Chain A
């Protein structure tokens, strides 16, 4: 019995060893094959000689599924010229999975969670990909950039590596192919009644003090009015005001820009909690002065956008936050109707304590972009798909096609390279009254496919007035983007628990300080309250992640 048992054991061990040997062989075999060509099984339909400046055309007709964010202003149509021309040029047919814009993010999470997502998942803003990283359902695209020559070229040419690094996760890779801008793009600022400036003999204000003086002069002339009544107060109070309009000048971004509440402080070379920063306090003090002198309408933080616009249109206020689009679409038409002599201008973003900057560490030249389903990696068309994405979203030709359409049909280009819509096509009011619309009838300039790109392309749809404004802004300095500080899963959960109470407390007190319900003497007390809500632990967590990343990935 004993003997047999021992023999059996020996046989078993032998068999195990043999198996182990076999499997090692197998591994090394596969490894050898891999180093030859990672993508041997994924090259169907791909171009062997694809590169920058080359039109991508699949070797065989292919189709890729894509999540489609359906914009109510230009609902998807299957007979758009965009689809047919895309197939003609690239031999690729896109199969859109249509999701209403109103609930795009929910459906995206659901489909990824259920393992049912399309291959290409566009319209994902930087940071939104993070929750999907741990599940392993999205592809670490940074490993496959060699398949995307145009993307790599633009990163190098526009010096976007530091921006790109902000996307890196704790493993040093990134999971989102972002949209790329050649230059920073500021858009939101104050919109001011030009005719009132003329009447009062005022110059266009440049700095916070200029704005203050302008408002004072307006108040003197129209004592019953609040000269500055702002919009974008719901659901984020001071959405644009605390973010771009005055946040940029102060160096601490509130409103829409508050997000996780963490700001990179370039002087200290550390992250800090935005709501407790000296820069943030300066901004609140400035705004409080405006409220105190009855220059800024206290309702700015609670009223609906429409109410703010009505005040502007009816001449009860003269200053409001806005951008190029809202100026043309929402402010000028109603004002013109009420008062044909009134004019409105976008003033350059007021220069604050931070000096003339067009972008700070919180800004980036990255746009929303594309996630790719992990399962696409196993598709035999994987290489072709990456080349296709590279061509449509990142090549110059692809970007012009997605934005402007087809030369001769939807646009013409003159000798100096200036784009012009053909006579019968309208887009953002460039050809008012034309029977067809670039977005609605042709499917071009579609937010899913057309964004980012060179400054020239970006500004090709801008009015002259807006191009001038951009010139003024572009002359200013851009501070380097913040360094990566990726949290791991556990830290992320912890941070999320701290973020909400901190953010709520900061937001609430922001309003109280601005509106004068709380005096600035209590600022230290307020910071202590934040402290009690784990502010330091949170900031240390982020700074720790930053140090760790620096150590591990240089």
Chain B
């Protein structure tokens, strides 16, 4: 691609832009590369402060060590299961709700939007939520994680805006040809909404993959935690241990183990991101620009 810099101002702008963006890239990438380098380094080298961007005392032993912990894999599997199930449920719920709300002729539409938006600003609070989930008997089950967060209002509104932008004539034509409401949704609307669906899947999947709080609240068995809780305990737990002057039997978890766990936890998202990134950019603009 060849671009012609017509004025001096544009050239200056491009140079400054490049410098700033490079800076941003470095600032973002450095911690990550540092973590990767640490995960491949010898623990003593880390302690001595020798590890920066390149691993020192290169070793895969830490990876083997972390991989040999069955709890890690159980929690990892939980994360995958929770993410897949939660995303599936969230997609069905959000799509249905958004589609309904996008129909201007729906009676009580303002009210339905109202109750959704209301939850963006007000919530019952921690303890009432906890009591609710407990008395519904959802504790210690996957439902405690996937159901309460099934509809994200932000995503709902983005989707609604997308559906509203779809030409009504298309659906009318399908209706005249004798298609039912569900038929229209499944065969006409959804196939034309792949971009927004992909974006929503990505939004939901990333947020469920990263979430730990719901699981922390409603799960009481080690085998039920997602890997994020495992990771959080590893990192935050070790630091709080020393700060309260813990007893002699308490030990801290080595830095390289923490690093390996972090790397293993981000990898899936990292692998998926480049492929979905274009949808991501589109998705962010969806609500804003209507064609």
Q: Main SS of chain B's interface residues? A: helix
The answer to whether the Cβ of A114 comes within 8 Å of any Cβ in the partner chain is yes
A114 near B131: Cβ-Cβ < 8 Å: yes
Least Cβ distance of A465 to chain B in Å? 14
B 233-263 contacts with A by CB, 8 A: 233-238, 240-253, 255
Least Cβ distance of B170 to chain A in Å? 49
**Segment at the B interface, from A93-101, A162-170, A382-390:** A93-101
A428 near B248: Cβ-Cβ < 8 Å: yes
A110 near B130: Cβ-Cβ < 8 Å: yes
The answer to whether the Cβ of B44 comes within 8 Å of any Cβ in the partner chain is yes
Q: Contacts A76-B222, A102-B240, A116-B134 given: A107-B217 contact, CB under 8 Å?
A: yes
Chain B neighbourhood of A77, CB < 8 A: 71, 222
Chain B neighbourhood of A330, CB < 8 A: 47, 252
A73 near B252: Cβ-Cβ < 8 Å: yes
Residues of B within 8 A of A (CB): 44, 47-49, 69, 71, 126-127, 130-131, 134, 216-217, 219-222, 225, 229-230, 232-238, 240-253, 255
The 8 closest A-B pairs by CB, nearest first: A102-B236, A100-B233, A310-B49, A101-B237, A97-B220, A102-B237, A334-B47, A72-B237
Residue from the list A306, A325, A461 in contact with B49, Cβ < 8 A: A306
A99 to B240, CA, bound (A): 15
Across the interface, name the chain B residue whose C-beta is closest to A446: B249
Least Cβ distance of B68 to chain A in Å? 12
Number of chain A residues close to chain B: CB under 8 A: 57
Chain B neighbourhood of A310, CB < 8 A: 47-49
A333 near B233: Cβ-Cβ < 8 Å: no
A447 near B49: Cβ-Cβ < 8 Å: no
B134 near A114: Cβ-Cβ < 8 Å: yes
Chain A neighbourhood of B244, CB < 8 A: 125, 256
Residue from the list A70, A101, A428 in contact with B222, Cβ < 8 A: A70
B251 near A100: Cβ-Cβ < 8 Å: no
B48 near A338: Cβ-Cβ < 8 Å: yes
Across the interface, name the chain B residue whose C-beta is closest to A111: B130
A239 to B244, CA, bound (A): 9
Least Cβ distance of A121 to chain B in Å? 13
A3 to B246, CA, bound (A): 79
A239 near B216: Cβ-Cβ < 8 Å: no
The answer to whether the Cβ of A445 comes within 8 Å of any Cβ in the partner chain is yes
Residue in A70, A125, A461 with the greatest tally of chain B CB atoms within 10 Å: A70
Least Cβ distance of B181 to chain A in Å? 42
**Binary contact track A28-57/B, C-beta < 8 Å → 1, others 0:** 000000000000000000000000000000
Chain B neighbourhood of A325, CB < 8 A: 248, 250-251
Chain B neighbourhood of A115, CB < 8 A: 131
Q: Contacts A72-B237, A114-B127, A187-B248 given: A98-B221 contact, CB under 8 Å?
A: yes
A103 to B214, CA, bound (A): 13
A240 near B47: Cβ-Cβ < 8 Å: no
Chain A neighbourhood of B248, CB < 8 A: 187, 323-325, 428, 461-462
The answer to whether the Cβ of A307 comes within 8 Å of any Cβ in the partner chain is yes
Residue from the list A307, A324, A334, A445 in contact with B44, Cβ < 8 A: A334
A333 near B47: Cβ-Cβ < 8 Å: yes
Least Cβ distance of B259 to chain A in Å? 13
Using A101-B240, A330-B47 as known contacts, list a sample of 6 further A-B pairs with CB atoms less than 8 Å apart, ordered by residue number in A: A102-B236, A116-B130, A187-B248, A305-B242, A310-B49, A462-B248
Chain B neighbourhood of A307, CB < 8 A: 49
The answer to whether the Cβ of A61 comes within 8 Å of any Cβ in the partner chain is no
Across the interface, name the chain A residue whose C-beta is closest to B220: A97
Q: Contacts A73-B252, A113-B127, A447-B250 given: A333-B232 contact, CB under 8 Å?
A: no
Q: Contacts A100-B225, A110-B126 given: A188-B240 contact, CB under 8 Å?
A: no
Least Cβ distance of B137 to chain A in Å? 12
A333 near B217: Cβ-Cβ < 8 Å: no
**Binary contact track A319-331/B, C-beta < 8 Å → 1, others 0:** 0000111000110
The answer to whether the Cβ of A442 comes within 8 Å of any Cβ in the partner chain is no
Chain A neighbourhood of B126, CB < 8 A: 110
Chain A neighbourhood of B127, CB < 8 A: 110, 113-114
Least Cβ distance of B132 to chain A in Å? 10
B233 near A72: Cβ-Cβ < 8 Å: yes
A100 near B237: Cβ-Cβ < 8 Å: yes
Chain B neighbourhood of A324, CB < 8 A: 248
Chain B neighbourhood of A305, CB < 8 A: 242
Chain A neighbourhood of B225, CB < 8 A: 98, 100
A102 near B233: Cβ-Cβ < 8 Å: yes
B233 near A70: Cβ-Cβ < 8 Å: yes
The answer to whether the Cβ of A236 comes within 8 Å of any Cβ in the partner chain is yes
The answer to whether the Cβ of A314 comes within 8 Å of any Cβ in the partner chain is yes
Across the interface, name the chain A residue whose C-beta is closest to B131: A114
Across the interface, name the chain B residue whose C-beta is closest to A235: B243
Chain A neighbourhood of B246, CB < 8 A: 447
Across the interface, name the chain B residue whose C-beta is closest to A324: B248
Least Cβ distance of A382 to chain B in Å? 23
A428 near B130: Cβ-Cβ < 8 Å: no
Least Cβ distance of B122 to chain A in Å? 20
Query: What are 28 pairs between A and B in contact, CB < 8 Å?
Result: A71-B237, A71-B241, A72-B238, A73-B252, A75-B222, A75-B230, A77-B222, A101-B240, A102-B233, A102-B236, A107-B216, A113-B127, A114-B130, A115-B131, A236-B243, A256-B244, A256-B245, A305-B242, A306-B49, A310-B47, A324-B248, A325-B251, A329-B251, A334-B48, A338-B48, A367-B247, A446-B249, A461-B249
Chain B neighbourhood of A428, CB < 8 A: 248-249, 251
The answer to whether the Cβ of A337 comes within 8 Å of any Cβ in the partner chain is yes
Residue in B48, B225, B253 with the greatest tally of chain A CB atoms within 10 Å: B48
Chain B neighbourhood of A114, CB < 8 A: 127, 130-131, 134
A337 to B44, CA, bound (A): 8
B241 near A101: Cβ-Cβ < 8 Å: yes
A103 near B48: Cβ-Cβ < 8 Å: no
Least Cβ distance of B274 to chain A in Å? 31
Across the interface, name the chain A residue whose C-beta is closest to B130: A114
A 410-465 contacts with B by CB, 8 A: 428, 439, 445-447, 450-451, 461-462
